[in-house]
Amino acid sequence: MISGYPLYLLGRLGQFALVVFIGINIAFIVTHATPIDPVEQSIAAATQFGSTSPEAIALMRQSLRELYGLEGDLAEQYVAFWRRVAVGDFGPSLSAFPTPVSVLIGRALPWTVSLLVVSTLLTWALGNLLGGLAGYYAKNRTLRLAGLLAMAFHPIPYYIVAFLLLIVFGYLWPVLPISGGYKMNMTRDWSWEFIGSLLSHAILPVCSLALVGLGGWFMGMRSLVSNIVTEDYVTYAELGGVKRGRILGSYVMRNALVPQVTGLAMSLGAIFNGAIITEQVFGYPGVGTLLVSAVHVGDYSLVLGITTVSIVAVSLAVLLIDLLYPLLDPRVKVR
């Protein structure tokens, strides 16, 4: 009989598979429910500058339906769609025909992943650190001020913070680039000049995401630590002469981080939504900018491909965090 961590692992893998299956099915239903017909739109774009014979249009329509996986009834399209998902083939892009959707996503995905990883880890680490210190050293004025600033940005939408940063550092005090992923006409290599350009262009998008998310982690960690410091084992450690730094790190912060790790997994999807808007504001060449462009031009295949990849990526990130969870809370193995 399977028990302990293997049972926990099987349960999380089952949840991962179920979430991905349901999410991709919803994406399929939504995209097929839209009034936009990618085949007819492609034909209209191809024939707008001249007349074409009905035979050529019919042949073009048949070929495009094969390319977009729209042959047959809805059930046949559903089976063909899952076959493509299994091999990562979403067909050609309508807006960048005949470039495959997988190629476009492959170009944009590293930008979004790097932006999300940096902003998420920075926000989570800094918010928990400041919140833990503020909860343990409750009378420290500097930490109180940091808490007020963090909570002031928390209720502001991502795009408002992005616009504020763009105005301040792009126009009032133009010291940072406000558009693109790197300097134009620069060779993409691993030179220090190119890396520096990447970092400078990422500062404002990362800051816009980090400033909004910082307050939530700060308030959550401060509340947890404020409750933990009243526990008996913390009081006994203080009376026993244990150094306050060790009490904070080993007895207080470690116990308070357990629910914060769960919160990190749950917040990944919301952060991705914010990244879409932020990338569009700063013209960052990630999946968010690609998705907005695809929606504007009605690129059916590209929208479906980006949605599917996003569902899998977020679910996989949540799965990895869930698998690391027992390392912080050994009680999970028993469950």
Secondary structure of residue 92 in the 3-state scheme? strand
79-115 pLDDT, tens digit per residue, is 888 888 887 777 777 777 778 888 888 888 888 888 8
- State percent of the chain over pLDDT 70: 83
Separation CA 71–CA 256 (nearest Å): 54
Q: What is the pLDDT of residue 268?
A: 63
Write the pLDDT tens digit of every residue in 1-60. 556 667 777 888 888 888 888 888 888 887 777 766 666 666 666 666 655 667 777 777
What is the spatial distance between Cα 24 and Cα 65, in angstroms, rounded to a whole number? 21
Instruction: Using the predicted structure, report yes or no on whether residue 296 has a pLDDT greater than 60.
Output: yes
Q: Where does the pLDDT of residue 334 fall: very low under 50, low under 70, confident under 90, or very high at 90 and above?
A: very low
Least confident of 61-75, 90-104, 220-234: 61-75
Query: Which of 223-237, 256-270, 318-332 reaches the highest mean pLDDT?
Result: 223-237
- Give CA separation, 31 vs 24, 80, 90, 168, 211, in Å: 11, 15, 13, 39, 33
Give the pLDDT mean for 178-205: 82
With vertex at residue 22, the alpha carbon angle to CA 20 and CA 23, rounded to the nearest 5 degrees, is 65
Tokens of residue 169, six digits: 């550092």
- Mean pLDDT in the chain? 78
**What are the start-end ranges of the H helices in the chain?**
5-33, 38-47, 54-68, 74-87, 101-136, 141-153, 158-167, 192-228, 232-239, 244-246, 254-282, 287-297, 300-328, 331-334
**pTM for this prediction:** 0.74
User: Largest Cα–Cα distance of the chain, in whole Å?
Assistant: 91
Rounded to the nearest 10 degrees, how much is the dihedral formed by the CA atoms of 326, 231, 135, 252?
A: -40
**Could you give the CA distance from residue 144 to residue 134 in angstroms, rounded to a whole number?**
7
Rg, Å, the chain Cα set: 25
pLDDT of amino acid 278:
82
Q: Residue for token digits 């193995």?
A: 333
Whether 331 shows a pLDDT value over 60: the answer reads no
Query: Exposed, middle or buried: residue 114 (CB in 10 Å: 0-12, 13-18, 19+)?
Result: middle
pLDDT of the residue at 332: 53
pLDDT at 181 over 50: yes
Transcribe 187-240 into DSSP letters: --SS-HHHHHHHHHHHHHHHHHHHHHHHHHHHHHHHHHHHHHTTSHHHHHHHHT
Q: What is the pLDDT of residue 45?
A: 63
- Crossing angle of helices 300-328 and 5-33, in 10° steps, is 160
The mean pLDDT of 180-199, rounded to a whole number, is: 80
Q: Residue range 292-302: average pLDDT?
A: 78
Q: What's the pLDDT score for residue 50? A: 59
pLDDT at 333 over 60: no
C-alpha dihedral over 269, 273, 279, 281, to 10 degrees? -150
| Domains observed in the chain | 16-87 (no CATH), 107-334 (1.10.3720.10)
Whole-angstrom Cα distance, residue 113 to residue 118? 8
